[in-house]
A and B are shown apart, each in its own frame.
Chain A
């Protein structure tokens, strides 16, 4: 499947990705209007600032997803065809089991609306907005199978 990868050497920590993500997942879908949304939209990608480097992080859509086994409400599932981890907000009860088991810390609780904040690859739009927003191309989106090629080119 196509996944999001990050280049730590390039990331400046400008948080354009976080902003683009929050906007595209907001009710208003526009930055100026989003400010007055009742429930604030939270970014599903977050930069972890560690020592001198910046590590962006978002859901890995793992092969062996811990969140799927842990979801006691049956709200998280894996689409065996696409490999994507799907989330059904209607079933979620905000128990934070997914937060507790994600080894990447890529799922956070939205405490106000009681739902986990997790990357959905912007499937409804077609292309992850963080990728588009990154001014230094530190966020890349390609097939997992291409990974080796990309690495060896560098």
Chain B
């Protein structure tokens, strides 16, 4: 039966939902809304765009042709402002520049009725509650537009301060450094990437960043951003003042749930979904950074705001909207980054704790650690040599009993051959 499907957000989750729906259903009408002004792009790659490593056209994830070929009505610069689950309706407004001038056109609300709705609104940067945070020159780092705005300032700046030493903060720092700026990263925690990986690996990365001219101030917070209109400096909690013209707020992200705040849709940290990616309203689904899914290593619901998860969750919600009943196999923290030639992979649980046994090995810049709970692998960290890291992910995801191979986990070439007898071979590889 032909339906009307509305998807809010045309990034990783929204696009893969379109793919999944069109695999089964060529008839239903699909409308995709985005409050951005660019067709879907590779959000994670904006740091390479900032660095000057890639050009804007290379960021395209799915071009306008994709939406045309799939018979999707893509409404860019269209911001959903309210979801009405009783009327099965999304209310939105046109926020394109020309309309912004014309108040009357702007206030004319658009309405989109749906049989099924996918909330794929992603997340937005958290801005710390700081005096001066609204000054010109303070940026979040989430969109192409953010990047372009930052680049406008780069030409006139010599120093940038990045607040926060997570993945996004460090990627912004890297990009700005490549543009020739002096970059200082100000972090409250004792080391970088404290939400991503363990201390030992974080210190290796931190050392590499420092060696390449990125200054890292740990155990410090900013208390105020100074300047009249434009930024002149930031003041730290020890009253030290650092002159700078750019501030990047990279203190984490928050799921974009405002548009459903007046509905009965359940929200915890993110939108709560069941294993079919469905919210507590039967025809409303959520996927990607906005959704809170079951974390297979923590054993509880969690927001794992990561690109691969957004794609997988989008795929499952799309298929289920089209009549399938596919279950999502859950999420987990997993990151892969490389700074100045030093790669890091971190997955699952990485912190030491009483409930876990950890095995680790370090030589020079090569570090490997595994975290074990009972007879299961629940986490792994690799620095330097990241070959075969996916094999660890397989062991974690499939909850394989590793007691037989425990003594081999840290071997340099531990790989699929070592786990072959323990798993179900999904793709045949060996005829004998």
Contact = CB atoms under 8 A, between A and B. Distances in A.
Given A69-B311, A73-B42, A73-B44, A100 B337 contact: no
B427 A62 contact: yes
A72 B45 contact: yes
Interface in B287-317: 307-308, 311-312, 315
A7 B429 contact: no
Interface string A109-124: 1010010000000000
A66 B393 CA distance: 11
Given A73-B44, A111-B341, A55 B390 contact: no
B424 to A, nearest CB: 11
B236 interface: no
B430 A100 contact: no
Nearest to B347: A100
Nearest to B315: A69
B68 interface: no
Contacts of B58: 90-91
A50 interface: yes
A10 B432 CA distance: 9
A151 interface: yes
B428 A147 contact: yes
Given A72-B42, A105-B390, A154-B432, A97 B427 contact: no
A147 B417 CA distance: 21
A48 to B, nearest CB: 4
A30 B428 CA distance: 32
A51 to B, nearest CB: 8
A143 B343 CA distance: 37
- Among A6, A101, A104, chain B packs the most CB atoms within 10 A around the CB of A104
A101 B308 contact: yes
Contacts of B44: 72-73, 95
A33 interface: no
Given A72-B42, A91-B58, A107-B390, A100 B413 contact: no
A6 B416 CA distance: 14
Contacts of A66: 308, 390
Contacts of A105: 387-391, 415-416
A70 B391 contact: no
B86 interface: no
Which of B61, B337, B415: most chain A CB closer than 10 A? B415
B341 to A, nearest CB: 7
A140 B347 CA distance: 35
A55 B414 CA distance: 12
A107 B429 CA distance: 15
**A contact patch SS:** loop
Nearest to A6: B430
B48 interface: yes
Contacts of A95: 44, 336-338
A93 B61 contact: no
**Contact-residue size bin, chain B (C-beta under 8 Å from the other chain):** 35 or more
Contacts of A49: 413, 417
B54 interface: yes
Contact of B430 (A5, A69, A107): A5
B contacts with A: majority SS:
mixed
Interface in B389-432: 389-391, 393-394, 413, 415-418, 420, 426-432
Contacts of B335: 100
B60 interface: yes
Contacts of B371: none
A69 B431 CA distance: 28
B343 A96 contact: yes
Contacts of B413: 48-49
A55 B416 contact: yes
B7 interface: no
Given A7-B430, A48-B416, A90-B58, A103 B311 contact: no
A100 B428 contact: no
B29 interface: no
B243 interface: no
A99 interface: yes
Contacts of A154: 431-432
Contact of A104 (B45, B347, B429): B429
A64 B413 CA distance: 25
Contacts of B428: 5, 147
Given A7-B432, A90-B58, A102 B427 contact: no
A103 B365 CA distance: 24
12 contacts: A7-B432, A48-B413, A48-B415, A57-B416, A74-B62, A91-B58, A94-B338, A95-B44, A96-B336, A103-B393, A105-B390, A111-B343
Interface of B: 12, 16, 42-45, 48, 53-54, 58, 60-62, 307-308, 311-312, 315, 334-338, 341, 343, 345, 347, 386-391, 393-394, 413, 415-418, 420, 426-432
Given A5-B430, A66-B390, 19 more contacts: A7-B430, A9-B432, A53-B417, A55-B420, A60-B427, A72-B43, A72-B308, A74-B60, A90-B58, A93-B54, A96-B343, A96-B386, A97-B307, A102-B390, A104-B416, A105-B388, A109-B387, A114-B338, A154-B431
Enumerate the 5 nearest inter-chain pairs by beta-carbon distance, A residue then B residue, closest first.
Answer: A50-B417, A105-B388, A48-B417, A103-B394, A55-B417
